[in-house]
Structure formats: structure tokens, C-alpha cells
Amino acid sequence: MADAVVEFLLENLKQLLLYNSDLISGVKDRVESLYKELSLMKAFLKDSKEKRGEYEYVRELVRQIRDVAYEAEDTIDTFVVNAAMQKERSTFGKIFHALDYPTKLRSVAKDIESIKTKVKEIYDTKRFGIEALYAGESSKKSSSSHKRKPVVEEDNVVGFDEEAKEVVSRLTNITESLEVVSVVGMGGLGKTTLAKKVYCDPDIEFHFTVRAWVYVSQEYNRKEVLFGILGSLVPSSDLNFSMNEEMIVEEICKQLNGRRYLIVLDDVWTPDAWNDLKKAFPNQDCGSRILLTSRNTDVALIANPDAHPHHLRFLNENESFELLCRKVFRKKSCPSELDELGRTIAKNCAGLPLAIVVIAGLLLKKDKTRDLWKKVAENVGSYVARDPKQCLDVLALSYKHLPDHLKVCFIYFGAFPEDYSIPVWKLVMLWVAEGFIQQNGQECLEDVAEEYLEDLVERNLILIAKKRANGRIKTCRIHDMLRDLCLREAAEEKFLQVIKQNMQQDPSSFVPTGNYRRLCVHSHVMNFIHSKPGGSQVRSFLCFPSEETELSREHASFIHDTFKLVRVLDMRSINISRFPAEITQLVHLRYISIFGNFKVLPPSISKLWNLQSLIVETTARDLDIQVDIWKMSQFRHLHTNGSSRLHGPQAKTRMDNEDPFVQGKIQTISTVSPDSCTENILARTPNLKKLGVRGKLVILMEENNNSSLFHNLAKLVNLENLKLLNDTFPRPPSEGKLKKLPPLYKFPPHLNKLTLSDTLLDWKHMSTIAMLPNLEVLKLKMYAFKGRQWDPLDGGFHLLKYLKIGKTDLVNWKAWGHHFPRLEHVVVEHCGDLVGIPYGLADVSALQTIELHHTPRAVESARLIQRQKLIQQQQQQQQQQQYMKNDGFKLLIYPPQS
């Protein structure tokens, strides 16, 4: 983690030197010198990475580097705050405080010199201490290769019967060519246990002439693994340990030649490991198989890109309880007085077999009393943590295998409460604001962040909770045991601290301890605030209280008084009675998320030159945004829930590449009033990706001198997501009905997702939307369209994958497969008059789901489509020569019907 700390500090110093050097004018040369010294530390950290696991001496030096980097960050950030305050003061105030400024300047210069000295001492220690330590390691290296083999539960296996049948079926299918079948899942799910069950299955023993099992592991050694395979094929007396790797490969191929074989490669961590080994497995079209287990989905996909891996599922509650009982009571049943508590314990293990086995081992050794079981049920995580080598250390292998840029992103999940469904848009903005995503060329930071998240998902460390209509991740979550791992690593690195209280505890006992950079409050926020915590080092303050919380006026200055250096402020879950003007003095802020009855966002927010994301939820219907975002060079996202009036730059300049008010980083403006969609505003957001408009859309659409405000949207060549929400309050929506849509050429050219609400358009105008060339997602919310019949025209919706129809008076919807050639998902809500879903959609091969919410008359037609899709699926499976990914068609009906 020290690597990330130094990396972030160097990036911040670089930004400070490039864009705000006036604030450090008195110590600029010293800051530049510190930047050079820290760059040496960065190089040392890179060189020492592989040695940290072996030498406590190296780990201690790394901790020292982290602490001195934190100290440097605090010193410089504090000086920047003071300099900014000095810059903002009145003339009289400047004269008064100018007398004190030289003293502060000398003080910070002295502090920086002290930090530089510490850095130099650490660097010298590295040179003269560690190099000597490394010098003698080569003689010991040959004996240091140690692997921890997994504990395989061959007895008391629960929940794997159906899983094993599926894997056995895939291994014994009729395909003659060599095929790789993979089992993937997070650590502790039982991949090795399942593989062993399959390996010992009588059908497998009968089907394959020869079998071999080898444990690959994270500490991969090609020669050892190859010898392990060869040792399963020939008697140990025939092994020649002087053979090199290529000779071993040749001998393995010789032994497997002409035989139907099964090779199990257990616990493969990297694609490189697979690529190293695959040369040893000849393909002679006799039905041979490789069974591969891995924590990383990408390994499985590289080993066999033509077949989906078997994703091992979590145990359900009944299976979890059964496994717990088998391990604790052996062949006896659970006593009735412990049944309910046992089920709670099993449930709180969240379906992870490894956690259940660890807890069972603890309960097996203790007296089986209700008091003990109740304590365990109330805090399963802490009891698992008592024996880290049995659980957390096994899970930690995945964490330690991560590259540095993913490690910091992963342990950040510890900031969120248990079982919290995390919106990806929020997570991405937080990662960017925290500095976890570094600029690399012209790549969009948010796109890189989503790639990082997908990487963590592929490594089975993060779970997908919900997907977007376009297939991307909408919300995600983390398994409770992995979250415990995050908190353990975060505490070790002083990365974050979670404050979780209950009403019975003394508020004064919740003052945060240690030099933590992030504080996350999960309950009773006001207790925490009343404790008057210190937080001079805190860079992020995030609140996730489960209860309703209101911040009173007398505590409105709490944030400014406590966290002067804060960068991330998420108080969305707290109702703030007035806009906290003191926030504008927190010059390091990059991310603000707040909630309250705000009607105006004051222009003073414009002083926050580092601000990237501004998220404001208000109980007011309208919001006047007086913030001059055109002067904020780092600004990226504006999220509001009401109809927000956005003002353009005051100065009149040419709107071209030389326009000083063009903001190329702005990606989100949502939601603004229709009259905010002026050329003065939209022409200065050339890279805008998401735009939400709420209000009287007639203003946006109406023609004036053969032009309209909507015409300005056509110039947003990077716009992907457009929401048009017709809000005519206090007048009824019927008075703001749109007569038509603008012509096709006025729509943004690369529009991918379109949402309409209360526009009351006639269905004939759908022909314009159908011709949008890149449209993949169309959401028609309440009364977007009105009329009893919709007959789509031929030639439209070429790329549409997701269609949602909200409440409307539609009765007849007539369509055939060629009207929606790529449609995958259909959602219909509260369409009580709709008599049916077009049966022609059954011919759309891509169609995966139909969801009906309170649309009873259309249920029978949807069932007909379901039956037809099932027939098609069966025919397709009969024609397939190998096991391909096919999740089948799903029909979801709400409320469920018997």
C-alpha cells in the first residue's frame, strides 16, 4: 500500500506544481526537491516488492516510507489551505495576517527539510542494509519454494452433487478433440473439493484411460508442476530429475500419446501458467480433457474461449446449515434448542463453505451451549478472524496476487456496510476522486475505473449485484468474509477506519484512533459528531447510517472544523438543514455528495478548484446552480435530482478551441432545466456523455426562427445517454404534451441510451426513435407514449437490445422478429390494457428475458413465447458439438402467479 501512497502523493505534488504553484511560491523549490526524493522512494518500493513477504526488515522500511509520505502530504496540504485562506481574505485581513505569513513559511520549509532528511535516511538504509540482506539470499533460494496445498474436504461434501454431475457430463461428452473444462470461483468456495469429487467419480475413472492431478498454486514453478504431472504417469523410480523442462514436456507427451486422458490442473492463477503448461498436452482427437480450477475467470476464458467456465455457486441457507451440522455433530442431528441459532450462524457465513468449516471447527471444540452459539451468531466475522490461517489468509492470497493499482481499489470496499449494494457510477467517481485512477494518455478515467472493477469481478473478488440494460455492471457488492479481509488490510495500512456504534454506548468512546486517512460511519452519526472527533489527517469522510439522520444548524460547521484537509465528503444520507457554506473553505475537496432542502447552490463553491463531482439531492423541486463550473478546471460530474438551472459563463468569447471556458473534462450534467440547454452551455461541454433534462420539454422542443434549444444537442458528438423528463408541475402533464419529436438529424449522433417520461407522444412518432443508428437501450417511462396501438415500421431498431415500456394505455402491440432483430430484454410495467406481447418476438434469437409487472392480460402471450423459446433452445443444444454458453430464456412475472 505504501506504493500507492507515494504514487498518489507524487501525482498531487505534480498537479500542485503545474497548476497551483502560486500557493506554494515561498517553498516551491523545496517541494520540487521533495518530489525528486520521493521519486527515489518510488523506485525502491518497486525494487523491493518481491522481498516484502520474506523479510520483516523490508516490511518495516516500507511502513516507514508510507508514514513519511503521509507526513509530507499533511504538511503540504495544510500549507496550501493556509495559503488559500490568505489569498481569499480582505485587504485589511491580508495586511494583518501578512505579518504572520513569513513565520508560517519558515515553519513549513523547516518541516519539508525534516521530511527530506527522513527520506534520505530511509534511502541510505536501503542501500547499505537491504543490499547486504539480498546478497546472501541466492544460496537459500532453492530451498525456499514452499506451497500451501489446499485442504480438501472429501467427506461431508454438501451442495456439490448437481455441480459434480454437470462437470462430469461436460468431461465425458462426445467431443473428440481435446477440451478444457474450468471451475472458477472465489477462494474458499470449494473448487478443489468439487474437482476431487469429480476426479474420483466412477464414471470418470471408467471413461479415461489415464488420469493425473497436479496442484499449480500461486507460487508457480513450471518444472515442479511438469514433474508432478509426469510423476502421476510413470513410477517414481523411472523419474530422471536431471531432465530440463523441454525434456519433461516431451516425456509427458510420449506417455499420453494415443490415450484418453484427464489432467486436473488445480489452482491456476495466471494465463502465463496455462500457456506454459498446455504444450505438454497432445490433442489426438480421442476425447481427452483438462479440468482446470482457478480464482480468475480470465484464466479459464483464455484456456478455452469457446466454452463458458463452470462458476461455482455459494451454498444456500439449507445447505450451509447441513454442512455446519455435519462438521459439528458428525452423524447426529442438531439439538432442537440450538437449531435456530445454528441456522443463523450458517446464514451469516454467507454461503462460503470455508467460513462454515472454520466456525464448525470452533464449535466442535467448545461446549455446545446456547450462550456460546448466540455470541457466535451475533458476530461470525470476528470468530472467523480468530483463526486467520484457516480462512482470511486463504482469501488473502487473492489480494496479495493483485497488482498495486487493484489492491487499493479492492480494500476500499471495506468502506461500505455489510451487504451494501454499491452503485457503480458512485464507486467510479469515488475511486477517481481518491486518486486511485491515474491518467494514462487520453484514456477517460471513469472508463479505466470500470475496467478495474471488471478485473476484480473476473478475479472473483467482487460480485455483480445488478447489470445495466446495456450489460455493464450497475451495482456490485462484496462477500462478507472478503470485506473482513479488506478491513484487516485497511487497518494494517492505516487506510480506513469504520465507526459503527450502538445506542447503549458512550458517544465519547467513538473518537477515531490512529492516523487513518478515511473515516466511514455506518450508524448513529450524531453520536459520532457529538464526540467531537479529531480528524486533521482525514482525507475522506463517508456516512452510511441505516437510520434517519438530520444535521442541526449548530453542527453545520462540524465538517470544516474537524476535517480541514478532506477530499471526499459523502453525506448523502444525512439531511442537512441549510447549505453548509463552510464547505467552500475545504479547498482540497474533489467529491461532494449532500442532501437537504437546498434551493440555491452558491457561487462560492466555484472556489473549490479541485472539485470533480458535485452530487446534490434536494427536497425542493427547483435548484438554482450559481456555481461557475466553467472556472473549475477539474470538474467532471454534476448530479442533481430536481430541475436545476445551470448558468453559462458570464464573459462572451468565441466558442472554439481557444475559448477559456470550454470544459473538456465534464462528462455528466443531470438533471437540468430545458432552458439550460443553450449553446452558451452545451457548446462548452464537447465531451459530455450523459445529459438529463427535467422540466417543461416544450421549451426545449419549440421552434424559433427555424431553430430550437434541442438543436444544440446535435453538437454533442460524445453524448451516449439522454434523459428527457417532462415535468409540468403544478399544471397536469396533458398541458405539456409534446406534439412531435425533433427530426432525426437533431439528435446526438452517437446516442446509445434514451429515456422518455410523461411526453405523451403518439406512437407514430416512434418511427423517429427507431432510426437512431446507435440506440441500444430505450426506456419509455410513465406515459412517454399514449395511444391504443403501436405498429412498428420496418427497417428500424437495428441495434436495440433493451426495451422498457412503463405505464400507458397501449392495448395492441403488433410486431415481428425483424422489427427488433437484436432485442435481448423486454420489460413492461403497469400496462393493464395491453392484451399481449407480440408472438413474433419468439423469432428473435437474441431474446433472453421478458419481465411483466402488473400487466396481467399479456401473461398468456408471454408464456407462448416462453414455450417456443424452450423448443428452440432444445433444438440448438442437440445441434451443438460442444458445451457452449446458453443461459436460456427467462419469463419473470410480478406479482408471481400460481
pLDDT at 2: 72
* Residue 534 pLDDT exceeds 90: no
Find the range with the poorest average confidence among 159-168, 243-252, 549-558, 866-875: 549-558
Rounded Cα distance between 688 and 691, Å, is 7
pLDDT at 150: 55
Q: Predicted confidence band at 92 (pLDDT cuts at 50, 70, 90)?
A: very low
Q: Predicted confidence band at 440 (pLDDT cuts at 50, 70, 90)?
A: confident
pLDDT tens per residue, range 726-770? 999 888 888 889 999 999 999 999 999 999 999 999 999 999 999
378: Cα separation from own chain's centroid: 28
pLDDT at 168: 94
Q: Does residue 860 or residue 148 have the better pLDDT?
A: 860
Q: Predicted confidence band at 556 (pLDDT cuts at 50, 70, 90)?
A: confident
Find the range with the poorest average confidence among 94-98, 326-330, 363-367, 595-599: 94-98
Average pLDDT over every residue of 412-422:
92
* Residue 32 pLDDT exceeds 50: yes
pLDDT at 99: 47
For residue 486, the one-letter residue type is: C
Q: Is 695 helix (H, G, I), strand (E, B) or coil?
A: strand
Rounded Cα distance between 9 and 69, Å, is 7
Burial of 834 (0-12, 13-18, 19+ CB in 10 A): buried
Average pLDDT over every residue of 604-609:
92
Rounded Cα distance between 190 and 150, Å, is 10
Phi and psi, residue 685, nearest 5°: -125, 65
Average pLDDT over every residue of 720-724:
97
Highest mean pLDDT among 261-270, 434-443, 702-711: 261-270
Rounded Cα distance between 92 and 49, Å, is 53
As a whole-number percent, the residues of the chain with pLDDT over 90 amount to 51
Q: Predicted confidence band at 695 (pLDDT cuts at 50, 70, 90)?
A: very high
Stated as kind and residue range, the H or E segment containing 790 is strand 789-790
Q: Does residue 850 or residue 655 have the better pLDDT?
A: 850
Highest mean pLDDT among 228-237, 529-538, 803-812: 803-812
Average pLDDT over every residue of 806-815:
96
Average pLDDT over every residue of 271-291:
93
Find the range with the poorest average confidence among 340-349, 500-509, 622-631, 771-780: 500-509
Rounded Cα distance between 264 and 210, Å, is 11
Find the range with the poorest average confidence among 99-108, 138-147, 587-596: 138-147
pLDDT at 506: 55
Q: Does residue 81 or residue 477 have the better pLDDT?
A: 477
Find the range with the poorest average confidence among 603-607, 613-617, 655-659, 742-746: 655-659
* Residue 666 pLDDT exceeds 50: yes
Q: Is 689 helix (H, G, I), strand (E, B) or coil?
A: coil
* Residue 118 pLDDT exceeds 60: yes
Find the range with the poorest average confidence among 292-301, 426-435, 464-473, 583-592: 464-473
Average pLDDT over every residue of 807-816:
96
Reported for 245-252, long-range contacts at CB under 8 A and 24+ positions apart, including other chains, are 248/223, 248/280, 249/279, 249/280, 252/226, 252/280, 252/281
For residue 826, the one-letter residue type is: V
Q: Does residue 135 or residue 262 have the better pLDDT?
A: 262
- Residues β-bridged to residue 615: 593, 639
Find the range with the poorest average confidence among 335-349, 372-386, 593-607: 372-386
pLDDT at 896: 85
Q: Does residue 652 or residue 87 have the better pLDDT?
A: 87
pLDDT at 101: 56
Same fold: 317-390 with 402-492: no
Residue 334 is given by DSSP the state: P
pLDDT at 12: 82
Rounded Cα distance between 444 and 233, Å, is 52
Find the range with the poorest average confidence among 72-86, 162-176, 480-494: 72-86
Within 8 A by CB and 6+ apart from 503, the residues are 524, 527
As a whole-number percent, the residues of the chain with pLDDT over 70 amount to 88
Find the range with the poorest average confidence among 24-33, 622-631, 841-850: 24-33
Average pLDDT over every residue of 817-841:
96
* Residue 474 pLDDT exceeds 60: yes
Q: Is 668 helix (H, G, I), strand (E, B) or coil?
A: strand
pLDDT tens per residue, range 296-336? 999 999 999 988 899 999 999 999 999 999 889 887 889 99
Q: Domain map of the chain by residue range? A: 2-135, 161-311, 317-390, 402-492, 599-754, 787-898
* Residue 138 pLDDT exceeds 50: no
Find the range with the poorest average confidence among 231-235, 269-273, 682-686: 231-235
Burial of 671 (0-12, 13-18, 19+ CB in 10 A): buried
Please compute, for residue 573, the number of CA atoms within 13 A of its CA located in the half-sphere on the CB side: 17
Identify the CATH assignment for 161-311 out of 3.40.50.150, 3.40.50.980, 3.40.50.300, 3.10.580.10.
3.40.50.300
Find the range with the poorest average confidence among 99-113, 231-245, 470-484, 864-878: 99-113
Q: What's the topology of domain 402-492?
A: Arc Repressor Mutant, subunit A (1.10.10)
Within 8 A by CB and 6+ apart from 4, the residues are 404, 405, 407, 408, 436
What is the pLDDT of the chain when averaged over all its residues? 85
pLDDT at 144: 38
Q: Which three cell numbers stand for residue 59?
A: 516490511
Average pLDDT over every residue of 622-634:
92
Q: Predicted confidence band at 884 (pLDDT cuts at 50, 70, 90)?
A: very low
Reported pTM: 0.86
Rounded Cα distance between 51 and 49, Å, is 6
Average pLDDT over every residue of 692-708:
88
Q: Predicted confidence band at 78 (pLDDT cuts at 50, 70, 90)?
A: confident
pLDDT at 145: 41
pLDDT at 391: 82
**Tell me: domain 317-390, CATH 1.10.8, correct?**
yes
Highest mean pLDDT among 316-320, 691-695, 703-707: 691-695
Q: Predicted confidence band at 140 (pLDDT cuts at 50, 70, 90)?
A: very low
Q: Is residue 154 within 8 Å of 196, Cβ to Cβ?
A: yes
Rounded Cα distance between 57 and 429, Å, is 37
Residue count of the chain, please give it. 898
Q: Does residue 730 or residue 874 have the better pLDDT?
A: 730
